[in-house]
């Protein structure tokens, strides 16, 4: 069974996660804080950006894989995968690389939730309907 959309999405998500991880490592080196955040706000933001990414991205990829295994329309999967990736990028960037871009954070949250909700609905409907294939 072909899972190309999930493979590309998982690879992209992994690279974004590494960028966020390297951001945390870099700030830790600059501030000489090896455990916790040391009360350093940029480090706190970077840690939360990475952690939030780790909390939401996996469920999106899992839902995408389940939908792809059910042979959901590839164009629909690509659109939702792009939404998930864009949402996670915006949210992660807002946390880890800005002083608090509310617009990027809200936009990223909206896109991420839209993707997860869409995939959840598709996965709940697919066993009962063939109209998405």
Q: Could you report the per-residue pLDDT of 73-123, keeping only the tens digit for each?
A: 999 999 999 999 999 999 999 988 888 788 999 999 999 999 999 999 999
CA distances from 36 to 43, 47, 65, 128 (A): 9, 9, 34, 47
Taking only the tens place, the pLDDT of each residue in 60-77 is: 999 999 999 998 999 999
Is-contact 66 123, C-beta < 8 A? yes
Domains and CATH numbers, the chain: 4-126 (1.20.120.550)
Nearest to 10 by CA among 85, 73, 83: 85
């Amino acid at each position: 069974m072909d899972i190309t959309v999930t493979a590309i999405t998982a690879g992209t998500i992994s690279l974004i996660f590494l960028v966020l991880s390297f951001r945390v490592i870099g700030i830790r080196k600059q501030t000489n804080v090896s455990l916790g955040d040391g009360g350093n706000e940029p480090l706190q933001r970077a840690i939360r950006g990475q952690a939030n990414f780790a909390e939401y991205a996996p469920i999106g990829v899992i839902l995408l894989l389940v939908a792809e295994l059910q042979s959901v329309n590839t164009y629909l999967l690509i659109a939702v995968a792009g939404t998930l990736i864009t949402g996670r990028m915006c949210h992660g960037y807002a946390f880890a690389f800005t002083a608090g871009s509310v617009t990027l954070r809200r936009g990223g949250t909206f896109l991420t939730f839209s993707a997860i909700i869409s995939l959840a609905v598709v996965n709940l409907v697919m066993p009962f309907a063939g109209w998405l294939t």
